[in-house]
Amino acid sequence: MFDFSDFVKMEKLPTEQQEALKKANTERLRILAAKTGAVDDDILEKLDRVALLDVVIQDMLTKKDEERDATGGRPLERTDRLRELELQLELN
């Protein structure tokens, strides 16, 4: 079941990232979620698409906040890491 809080989290991402995440297949989301290191591999195998999206989105938002803190509140145009994630999503 889709949780409204997932939609709210998704809205905080740039439009390009939102579209890329929506288009990504479940296995691709599983790979991205695994790269976050936030969830054990055994648990990742059991997560559904919505839960995987939640892990990936939360990681993206956390990194976005960390970057904002590192720049004194000024948002960065695009970091290499964000661009790398976007390119990985586009490959699917």
Tens of pLDDT, residues 21-58? 999 999 999 999 999 999 999 999 999 999 999 999 99
d(CA 79, CA 43): 29
Burial 8-28 (b: 16+ CB within 10 A, else e): ebbeebeeebeebbeebeeeb
User: In total, how many domains does the chain have?
Assistant: 1
72: phi > 0 → left, psi -120 to 50 → alpha, else beta; which?
left
Entry pTM? 0.66
Structural domain of residue 24, as residue ranges? Answer: 4-90
CB 6 within 8 A of CB 54: yes
Tens of pLDDT, residues 54-91? 999 999 888 876 766 555 655 555 566 676 777 777 66
